[in-house]
Structure formats: C-alpha cells, structure tokens
Structure 1
Amino acid sequence: MQTKQRFLFFCTCFILLLSFSGVKAQQRWSVGPRLGATISKITGDAPNNGFLPGFTGGLYVMYSDISHFGISGDVLFAQKGAKYDYNGTKFIQRINYIDVPIMARYFMNLKGKVRPNIFIGGNIAFLLNAKAKDRTDNGVARPDVENTSSFASTDLGFLAGVGFNFKVSKARWVQTDFRFQQSLTPIQISSAPDRRNTSINILLSYAFGVGKKYRN
C-alpha cells in the first residue's frame, strides 16, 4: 500500500508541474507516456553479479524551442538490481525506484520529420522497495527476503545518451531514448558502502504538443 501511495504522490506532483509549465511558458512543450526496459547491475564492491532486465515506465515533459537546445524531465517507475551467482548461492536482487531525471538536450537540426539529439543530466531516485528473490543455495530453494531497510532511501546519479524524435503528425512525435545511468552515491547503507547502480535504458515515448503554437 505504501508503494502505491508514493507512486500516486509523485505522479500527482508531476501532473501539477506540467499544468504550471504549460500556463507559464505557453511555448513548445510536449507531454506523454514513456515506456521501456532497464538493464542494470550493481557496481563497486559487489563481485559476482550480472545484468538484470527490468521495466521502466511513467510520464515525461519536454521543452524544445525553435533552436538546438531543449530540456526534459521524467517521473518513472524503474526496476533495477542485479543477478548474483557465487559459491553455489544464486539470487536476484530487485530494487524498485521512482526515478526523476532532468536532462539538457542538444538537437542536431532545427526542424524536420526526424530530430536526433544528445543529452546529459542528473537523476534522483526514491527507493520504493527491495527484495532478494529466486534464491537457491547449492540447488536448494530458499524463501525470498525483503531487504528494503538495507538500501538508501535516495540515490543520486547522472545520465547521458542519444535520442531521436520522429514526427508522425501535427504536434505528435514518437521519441526514442538510449540512456546510460550511473549512481554517484552509495545505494546500501551498512556493509557495502561502495555499491552503485549502473543501468542502460531503452525508452519509447509518444509526445502530445501542448501550449501556444508557433510557426516554423
């Protein structure tokens, strides 16, 4: 129940931010859903772990004026973690977050049906829950362990990548992002002070233009 309440809270805040931005700026804003996959692992003092696929999805807002520069922000539910395999012990460490990345974008062209762009920015992730699951010890199944308390409540990081905006109709765009994301702060609070989240994100969005219209 607590997880759902947090998710609804951040979604509500994000929608209010969109409303305020649209009224104040009245320029080239677009909003929409963003869905995709995350491939993550835990780096630093975390040997014997491999990449773990997960789901990412939520809402975003983007501002792109008639220039090469733009800015975007997301509120995303993100599944992260890693697969562990050492000394006969195997398990999946799943860590769920609400990610709030803010990115500065540079668009390669001013207009057209395809607008490639590169971006860099920061991310703050709010911990929802964590669990060690699918545990086996020398082939013997073990129960899942809920270990949310072992992880920091927030995770600060940076991200960078490349995106492509494809115009499908007037004020409608399909957007793809390919992102690399890295934690800058430790994700665990006790026995493993140097562990960090590392992930690759592949995201697909559908953009709806909002606000005042300008001629190209």
Structure 2
Amino acid sequence: MKRIQILILAFILLAGFQQVNAQTGIRAGWNYPEIKGISSDGNSGFHVGFYKKISLLGLVAVEPGIQYSQKGGKFEDNGMTGTERLHYIDVPVLARLGFIPLINIFAGPQASFLVARNYEGSTDISSIEELSKFDIGGVVGVGINLPLGFNVQGSYDFGFSDLNYSDVDTKNSVYKVSIGKNF
C-alpha cells in the first residue's frame, strides 16, 4: 500500500507543475549496475522513464521523475557464474545547477521500489520475498543540453538501504548513460 501511495504522490507532483518555465521530457539509456557488498561484476541493463523539469532561478531547476530501471550483477555461485537482474521503479527528485546553458550538474534523493527479480545460476529464482522491496538512495551526475530539446547525461545511483541479499550488507550501485528529449 505504501508503494502505491508514493507512486501516486510522484504522479501528482509531475502533473501538478504546469508552469510556463516547466518542461516535460522522456529519458532512456544504458545501466551498468553492481551489488556492493558481494563480489559482483556489472550486469548491463537499461532504464526508461519521464521527468518534469521546473526552472526556479534561471540556471537552477528541480526535476522529479519516474522510471523503470534494471539493476543487479554477476557473481560466483557454487563455482558457476550467477546473474541477478532486479527490476525497479525509481522516483528521483533532482536539483540541477547550470554553469552555462549547455552544461549542468545534478544531485538528489531517489526512492526505488523492487517489482520483479530474475536470478539465473545454479538455481533459477524469481521470488522477491527475501529481498528488501524498498530502497532509498541518491543520484549524482552531469548533463549536456543539445539542440532541439535533446540532452545527454551520465549519472551514478547509489543505494543507502541494505538489500538483505544473502544475509550480507549489500547495496545497489548503478552507472547510467542517458539520452532525453524535452517537450
């Protein structure tokens, strides 16, 4: 129930900012996630979603968003390589600071909700019951504004919450490269 309430709040925030200097956009890109705390190599994935960029003071903006994101990793499992794919709905709220109209840096908190899991290894697992369903984290990155409303960015997402993975203190860690389009 809590998950649904937070998602509804995110949609209300995105829909509620109908200002002249607000832009709605879509964003998609490549993920390189890891599970920190266990010997994990990256496991390529993707993310896709939308955002609302609200300009506050010239080159300062707030950007709430919602996106689907694949996280997880690869690691040794009984002498074999196991692949963990965790599927999340991320709700970031970013503050953007532009140095010049072309380049900006951003940071902010992010709430993530685990919605599905696919583990392939010595056994296949799809149950999310033993994992933490909610993750609070942060996002930092740099973006470049391109002509025609396009933008590219690189970011790093890091979890603060323990995933409760194999009774080891584990956290999400994701490098992202994205392309977006403002409307």
Provide TM-score, normalisation by structure 1.
0.76
Equivalent residues in 2 for 1:52-131, closer than 5 Å: 52-65=43-56, 67-85=58-76, 87-109=78-100, 111=101, 115-131=102-118
Corresponding residue of 2:132: 152
1:196 paired residue number:
171
- 1:175 alignment partner AA: N
Match of 1:214 in 2: none
- Residue type matched to 1:117 in 2? N
Whether contact under 8 Å (1:131, 1:148) holds in the other structure is: no
Q: Name the CA distance, whole Å, in 1 between partners of 2:129 and 2:11.
A: 30
Displacement of 1:167 in angstroms is 2.9
Q: Partner of 1:187 in structure 2? A: 163
Question: What is the identity, as a one-letter code, of the residue corresponding to 2:34?
Answer: K
1:67 Cα offset (Å):
1.6
- Separation of aligned partners in 1, 2:25 and 2:177: 16
Aligned length: 180
CA gap 1:35/1:94 in 2 versus in 1, 3 angstroms: same
Taking the aligned partners of 1:126 and 1:107, their CA distance within structure 2 comes to: 30
| Large movers: runs of 4+ above 2 Å | 12-19
Query: RMSD in angstroms over aligned alpha carbons?
Result: 2.1
Q: CA deviation at 1:203?
A: 1.0
How far apart in 1 are the matches of 2:11 and 2:103?
27
Please point out which of 154, 163, 179 is paired with 2:143: 163
Aligned-partner Cα distance in 2 for 1:150–1:131: 13
**What is the CA deviation profile of residues 99-152 of structure 1, one whole-angstrom value per residue up to 9, with x for unaligned ones?**
01111111012x4xxx2000111111011011211x25xxxxxx5212311211
Residues 14, 65 of structure 2: 8 Å contact kept: no
Question: Taking structure 1 as reference, are residues 122 and 15 closer, same or farther at Cα in structure 2, changes over 3 Å only?
Answer: closer
Pick closer, same or farther for the CA change 1:116–1:72 going to 2, 3 Å: same
Unaligned runs of 5+ in 1: 1-5, 137-142, 209-216
Q: Deviations over 1:13-59 (max 9, x none)?
A: 6554333210xxx2311112111111000112x12x20011010011
Give the TM-score normalised by the residue count of structure 2: 0.89
